[in-house]
Chains A and B, each alone.
Chain A
C-alpha cells in the first residue's frame, strides 16, 4: 500500500529541499538584546503572562526569546552575540510527524508550520521533539482572571485576529499569519500581488535596530532573499536536516 503524503500533509517530513515561501533573516550583529521583539510578539499574538509561580516551573510563554551565551572560563568570561530564537518554520519539521492529532501540520499554501488550536489535545510530543525549544504550552487558562488573580490581564488590548488559547493547548510562532492573510486580502481586493516590505511580522516591526527582516524567500529579488544569500549566513542546528526558514547573519 502506498500512502499519499500530500494527502496526509506530511510531505515536508521527507522532503530533501524545503519549498520555502515566507522567510526571515536575523542579523545578530545588529541585535542589541533589547527585548522589543519579545514584547511586540506577546502583544500581537495574545500571549499570556504566566505569573511568578508558573514561571518558576519554567512555564513562561514566549514565541520569541533572546538567548545569550557565555564563552571562556571565569574571570575571562565574554558574552556572545544576542540570539533571538523563534520557531524556525522548518521545511522538514521534527514536530510535525510526532503529533497524534495532526494538530501541527505543514501548510501547503503558506509553507509554514501550523498549530491548529482546536485540534490540539495537549500531548506535548511536538515540544519534546522541537530541537529549538520554541513551543510553549498553556498549563492554565491564564486569560481567566480567576486562575491567577495576581496577573494583570490586558484583555482590552487582545488582538481580535488571533485566537485566545485555552488550557491544554500548545502554541508557537506563526510568522504572524494573521498579518500575512490581511496583506493578501488587501492585495487581492486591489487586484495585485503582495509587494515586498508591504507588511512585516510584529517582531520585525518593533525591532529598533532593524535586525529582523521578513518577506518572500522564494522571490529572488526580495530583501530577505538578498540578505539570505550573504556569505556570513548560518542556519541553526542545520546538521539535523530541519531545513529552517530563518537565517542568521553573524560576524560580518
Chain B
C-alpha cells in the first residue's frame, strides 16, 4: 500500500498532484495569517480626517494624553455634545449609528488601534511634555479616514527615538535606555 503510494507520488502525475496540494495548503495558511492580522471593525466608522480638518484638537477627544498614561477614547456624551447641535447628524447615514447609540444608551466599544503588549508600560504624559507631537507616532490624522496604525510599534522603533532625543546627555540616555523604564 505504502509502496504503491510512493510509486505514484514519484510519477509525473503524482508530482503535479503533490505540488498542487502543497500550493493550496500554503495559500490557505497565508490567508489564515492574513485574516488574523486584520483588526476588528470599529463600531462607528469614525472619520478622523473630517474632524481634524474641522480644527478639532486631538486632546479634545483624547484628553488623558496630557495628564497620564492613557489618552482615553471618547464616550457617547463627548460625541453628542457637538453632534446634537449639528444638522447633518439627522441626515447622514453614517451618523445614524450614533443616534442609535444615543437612543439605546449603550457605550461605544471602540477598538484600540495603537497598542503595546502587556509587558510594556507606556505613559503618554512624559512624551507630550518632551515635545513629541501626536502625529510623530500616530501619523497625520488629517488624511486618514478610519484610523490605522502607521507603523509597527516595536522596541527598536521606541529606542531609536529615545537615543535620538537623549543625544549626548549621559544621564538622559541611561534613563531612556534602561530596561526598567518600560518593562516591569
Which residues of B sit under 8 angstroms from A189, Cβ to Cβ?
125, 129
Q: Are B118 and A163 in contact (CB under 8 A)?
A: yes
Main secondary structure, interface of A, reads: loop
Question: Could you mark each residue 178-219 of chain A with 1 if its beta carbon is under 8 Å from any beta carbon of chain B, else 0?
Answer: 100100010011000000000000000000000000000000
Q: How far is the CA of A108 from the CA of B179 in the complex (A)?
A: 9
* Most central of B123, B126, B175, B179 by chain A CB within 10 Å: B179
Q: How far is the CA of A164 from the CA of B178 in the complex (A)?
A: 20
Q: Interface range on chain A: under 10, 10 to 19, 20 to 34, or 35 or more?
A: 20 to 34
Closest chain B residue, CB of each to CB of A9: B179
Which residues of B sit under 8 angstroms from A174, Cβ to Cβ?
180, 184
Q: Are B125 and A185 in contact (CB under 8 A)?
A: yes
CB < 8 Å A-B pair total:
51
Question: Could you mark each residue 89-116 of chain A with 1 if its beta carbon is under 8 Å from any beta carbon of chain B, else 0?
Answer: 0000000000000000101111010101
With A118-B117, A163-B119, A189-B129 already in contact, the answer to whether A177 and B184 are too (CB < 8 A) is yes
Q: Interface range on chain B: under 10, 10 to 19, 20 to 34, or 35 or more?
A: 10 to 19
Q: Are A109 and B119 in contact (CB under 8 A)?
A: no
Which residues of B sit under 8 angstroms from A82, Cβ to Cβ?
none
Q: Are A107 and B179 in contact (CB under 8 A)?
A: yes
Question: Could you mark each residue 73-84 of chain A with 1 if its beta carbon is under 8 Å from any beta carbon of chain B, else 0?
Answer: 000000000000
Chain A residues in contact with chain B, CB under 8 A? 105, 107-110, 112, 114, 116-119, 161-164, 174, 177-178, 181, 185, 188-189
